[in-house]
A and B are shown apart, each in its own frame.
Chain A
Amino acid sequence: MTYIAKPRLHHPTLAVNKVGYTRRDYEGKISTLCAGCGHDSISAAIIQACWELDVEPHRVAKLSGIGCSSKTPDYFLGNSHGFNSVHGRMPSVLTGANLANRDLIYLGISGDGDSASIGIGQFAHGMRRAVNMVYIVENNGVYGLTKGQFSATADQGSQSKRGIVNNDSAVDLVALALQLGATFVARSFSGDKSQLVPLIKAAIVHPGAAFIDVISPCVAFNNHTGSTKSYEYVRDHNEPVNRIDFDYWPKREEITVDYAEGEVVSVTQHDGSVLRLHKLAADYDAHDRIGAMNFLQQRHALGEVVTGLLYVDPQPEDLHAHLKTAETPFNTLGAKDLCPGSAALEKINASLR
């Protein structure tokens, strides 16, 4: 299939990107989430990232599970196909979709209940399988849609609005993703657009399993003092390991960077795109999986929420590489490519007599 980018008419004041779209072309339906919900900020960051990256909207497939977070694919990239599947099972649906057509960009949107509670199995196996995708968990520590019950990422000892105490220890999806073999692992905060947008862009071009845990306060059920998923807590306890700039190849005009040498490290990815990590933590190495795991745990013990790109493998392999699948998308193959034909069947018959 060929995709012709169509010439488009635009309002003269709206900036157009390389593929001829304005930022507005990346928007979706009007959100029905609560005003102030962190999830809406993440949608805005996705819109910004796709526009800046010159992604053609219809080349993105958006998949999600069930929850307030999983509803959001309806609120961005309105011309893209979306699939709001079943609770906790987005990773398998995305895996199948990706196998059917390796040429699209797969964006998986999930919640903490969706990925760390009911769907922790699929989350884990999706990471293990190295599916080429961007997997974003909009993490608020509660089940927003079912009105505020604890999810598996809720802080141990925290109290719900209804006064119930959570005694179970919390799942850290970032730690899990690191352990399970994800090749791009990051955490950010819905309120920190300048960190989140470049992270999403970097995740999109990363040709492997890219995971971003985005802390996203639920203003209805989990934004009170004491919650580690509140706006206030994250602002006060955020420990960014790095800030990244992101240049996509072919490079745009040079973005001037104001950091002194030694503070910036460039990571050239598989496809030629360049990630520039602004090292804030002097000794942070984003290529060291074990180091990332240690750092994460150490900071966690201090009550800090580590954000930034914790780990990236610049030469990742994905599921298609593992399965040695053909370059041509499966969904374009017909009988002439797939059916061995009657002569081959005759041979098979002959061997069965």
Chain B
Amino acid sequence: MKPIEAVNDFVVKFANVNGSGSASANELFARSILRMGVPVSPRNIFPSNIQGLPTWYEVRVTERGYLGRRGGVDLMVAMNPQTWERDVKEIEPGGYLFYDSTRALPKSKFRDDIQVIGMPLTEICNSTYTDPRQRQLFKNIVYVGALSALLEIDPKAIETLFSEQYRGKEKLLDSNVKALHLGRDYAASQLQCPLAIKVRRADKVGNRIFLEGNSAAALGAVYGGATVCAWYPITPSSSLAEAFQRYCQRLRVDPLTKRNRFAVVQAEDELASIGIVVGAGWNGARAFTATSGPGISLMTEFIGLAYFAEIPVTIVNVQRGGPSTGMPTRTQQSDVLACAYASHGDTKHVLLFPEDPKECFDFTAKALDLAERLQTPVFVMTDLDIGMNTRLCEPLAWDDTQAYDRGKLMTYERLEAGAEFGRYLDVDGDGIAYRTLPGTHPTRGGYFTRGTTKDRFARYSEAGPDYMENMQRLLRKFETAKTLVPRPLLLPAPKPARFGAIFYGSTSPAMVEALDALADRGILVNALRIRAFPFADEIVDFCNSHPWVFVIEQNRDAQLKTLLVNEAGVNQNRLISVLHYDGTPITARYIVDEIARHAGAHTVVPFKKVVS
């Protein structure tokens, strides 16, 4: 079998034991390639455990900048005996297996269509280090060193990363550099270097940044002016609230008084988290919570209250595999309907769908504005794939001249001047009424907020016409929302196309790659990335102007398609679902195969021959 040959275009997968300290070494590996100007896209595949269970880290090296998961593995770094069988099986024919050869393994444990590279890592570490903890930790750095020689990664790039990480900690810096070279030197002298897959310096990273969606969303909350964050720990959203706290400690402490311009409450459950956010929003502070599926389920009663009583609320839902506890450490887009219609009675909510960390930042800040403008819950629908993986994206940007949109707030001055105030009175037809904050004026503008029905002046009323008028106004407000949410983005095919495709959220990088591959195969597709619900009119136009529209989603039940049919009146006979929901991020290969199959393009060349 001919070994796979590739420069700047391959997948390395690390199979480790959770809690062995491999995570930082693996990230070091990924970052060193970035520093050589070559884009990478890493993904954590981890169990819902802290220690002892298998965990994987997959790094796609991609000069062309395809940041979706590719599928298949070219080089497996097999450090976990427990998962050996399946790890070896996953390697592409002609691929490479790197393993710890300290203990000899029978021939039957290997495959003959792959290249096997053994290195006695344990032995090397045992003879170099005496402390068992060091033996374990440095083993990870030693294999990074060996890989750097095998793949021609510039050791300077790694050393620079070390010096940044261990600034002022010379001892740690030295010992890490030593371990790195221990691995490099062994590989250079004992192994055949380099392999036929390798890294070559390029300039394809530009000024892009490398961060997790959860950190980006947290920064979006800081920049967007959130002062109250209430949350309850749940994977994969916990790191978002934790990042918010961390960033606030750096960026939101009053320099003079040393007091905090933020409050983070780790509540007793998600009911309390959302309750705190509702209370803060009612009282005029920008507040948000971060959660995932089970938390959303618990929050729904409050979400209905916020919808009906019209209180600004921002919820970041880092989606994971459902239903129930489902797949807590796997990714899905399966809360679309649960969030769009959260709570009993007739409700509809604004959803934003970020594609990457950059949009997590933008949309979280935007959600805080929208929530106040629309006086309603706004969901940022991210997911585990975006939230918990470090992703290359455009640098974060902020316009310093932009003020927060506090929405329709009735002031003391206006009340004093005799302005008419009806809490649920639509004065200008956009469905949004003015609100006052508690304490605004001694005698005017006070009102009673409730989840029961009321008239325009917030007086309790069960009268049918009052109820209907209010419900109709809420619909008008939702129409207004349409004009305020991020617009869909069109990715036109190079030539006029018969097919349309709709996608959203974390499907984006795989979709972009799939569109290129489809075009190579002569299948032309116009693609539209939906970035928000309610759906803009151009989404309907897009559907109407294509006889067939693929809707690509990461859930079983075609939830966005349901929403399109239900809410935008799209003819469902035009819509063809492409659904991926095994918990792994969707791949371009999968999308291409599905679309090609449906497109009836049985004459086109198989995909694998097109993409190496």
Mark A residues whose CB is within 8 Å of B: 1, 3-6, 56-59, 61, 63, 73-74, 78-86, 89, 91-101, 103-104, 121-122, 124-125, 129, 320, 323-327, 330-331, 333-335, 337-342, 344-346, 348-349, 352-353
Find out whether the CB atom of B396 lies under 8 angstroms from the CB atom of A345: yes
Find out whether the CB atom of B230 lies under 8 angstroms from the CB atom of A86: no
B440: A residues at CB distance < 8 A: 1, 58
A79, A334, A337, A340: which contacts B443 (Cβ < 8 A)?
Answer: A79
B260: A residues at CB distance < 8 A: 323-326
B283: A residues at CB distance < 8 A: 61, 96-97, 100-101, 104, 331
Find out whether the CB atom of A97 lies under 8 angstroms from the CB atom of B279: yes
A82 to B460, CA, bound (A): 13
Find out whether the CB atom of A326 lies under 8 angstroms from the CB atom of B261: yes
Find out whether the CB atom of A58 lies under 8 angstroms from the CB atom of B439: yes
Find out whether the CB atom of A348 lies under 8 angstroms from the CB atom of B267: no
Find out whether the CB atom of A84 lies under 8 angstroms from the CB atom of B280: no
Given contacts A340-B251, A342-B398, contact A331 B437 (CB under 8 A): yes
Judged by a CB distance under 8 angstroms, whether B364 is at the interface is no
A86 to B307, CA, bound (A): 13
A334: B residues at CB distance < 8 A: 225, 403-404
Find out whether the CB atom of A125 lies under 8 angstroms from the CB atom of B268: yes
A80, A86, A324, A331: which contacts B284 (Cβ < 8 A)?
Answer: A331
B302: A residues at CB distance < 8 A: 86, 89
The 5 closest A-B pairs by CB, nearest first: A96-B279, A92-B275, A331-B284, A100-B285, A81-B438
Report the tally of A-B residue pairs with Cβ distances under 8 A. 235
B399: A residues at CB distance < 8 A: 342
A97: B residues at CB distance < 8 A: 279-280, 282-283, 438
A-B contact pairs, 12 of them (CB 8 A): A61-B438, A84-B449, A91-B275, A92-B267, A92-B273, A96-B275, A100-B228, A320-B263, A323-B263, A334-B403, A345-B219, A352-B209
Find out whether the CB atom of A340 lies under 8 angstroms from the CB atom of B437: no
Find out whether the CB atom of B450 lies under 8 angstroms from the CB atom of A84: yes
Find out whether the CB atom of B228 lies under 8 angstroms from the CB atom of A338: no
- Nearest CB to that of A338 among chain B residues? B225
A82 to B211, CA, bound (A): 43
Judged by a CB distance under 8 angstroms, whether B252 is at the interface is yes
Find out whether the CB atom of B305 lies under 8 angstroms from the CB atom of A1: no
Interface flags for B279-313 (1: CB within 8 Å of A; 0: not) read 11111110100000000000001100100000000
Given contacts A84-B451, A92-B275, A100-B283, contact A342 B442 (CB under 8 A): no
Q: Which of B441-477 contact A (CB under 8 A)?
A: 441-443, 446-452, 460
A171 to B439, CA, bound (A): 35
CB distance from B449 to the nearest CB of A (A): 4
A91 to B227, CA, bound (A): 19
Judged by a CB distance under 8 angstroms, whether B242 is at the interface is no
B346: A residues at CB distance < 8 A: none
Find out whether the CB atom of A93 lies under 8 angstroms from the CB atom of B259: no
B254: A residues at CB distance < 8 A: 326
Given contacts A125-B267, A331-B283, A341-B400, contact A80 B278 (CB under 8 A): no
- Nearest CB to that of B460 among chain A residues? A74
